[in-house]
Amino acid sequence: MLDRVTRNFQPSGDPGPGGDFAAEGEDLPALLERLLGESQGRTQKDLAAEAGISYPTLNAWMNRTRGTSRIDPERLRAMVEVFRRWGVRTTPREFFASVGRPVPGPGRDEREAQLLKLYRQLPESRQRALVKNAEAMLQLSRAN
């Protein structure tokens, strides 16, 4: 078992910076190891495939040969969702704390990117309907 990394660890269970609990002092590799252990036979390859992360990247994080401080927030959220689907209790806060960051809310750029991603997945007829709905919403918001 990997030793727990004490970066962000606060003795006696005190909250870490910003009032958040660092996940028992775990860095991302330690957190992933613990959660994979709770996921009944699931592997790094399973996590990588279901979270949309390349296996070599995930493996490099696990082996601490690649830094984790700049991981895209959506990748962290994707891993949270995979573990939740597997019945493992975890939170985005745990993941963000493990890479030394506060949990961000979706910013404007993230919301726009998410909307564009969804739009591109729709058939053309649904894209047109979505644009009409957005135009109607805009008119309503201007009237208020």
Q: Mean pLDDT over residues 108-133, rounded?
A: 90
Q: What distance in Å separates the CA atoms of residue 76 and residue 116, rounded to the nearest whole number?
A: 20
Report domain extents, the chain.
Answer: 11-98, 108-143
Q: Mean pLDDT over residues 55-67, rounded?
A: 94
* Token representation of residue 25: 């002092």
From the list 91, 37, 28, 95, the residue with the least C-alpha distance to 62 is 28
Q: Given this structure, which CATH class describes domain 11-98? A: mainly alpha
Cβ proximity of 23 and 5 under 8 Å: no
Cβ proximity of 30 and 5 under 8 Å: yes
Q: What distance in Å separates the CA atoms of residue 84 and residue 94, rounded to the nearest whole number?
A: 13
| pTM (predicted TM-score) | 0.58
Banded model confidence at residue 25, pLDDT cuts 50, 70, 90: confident
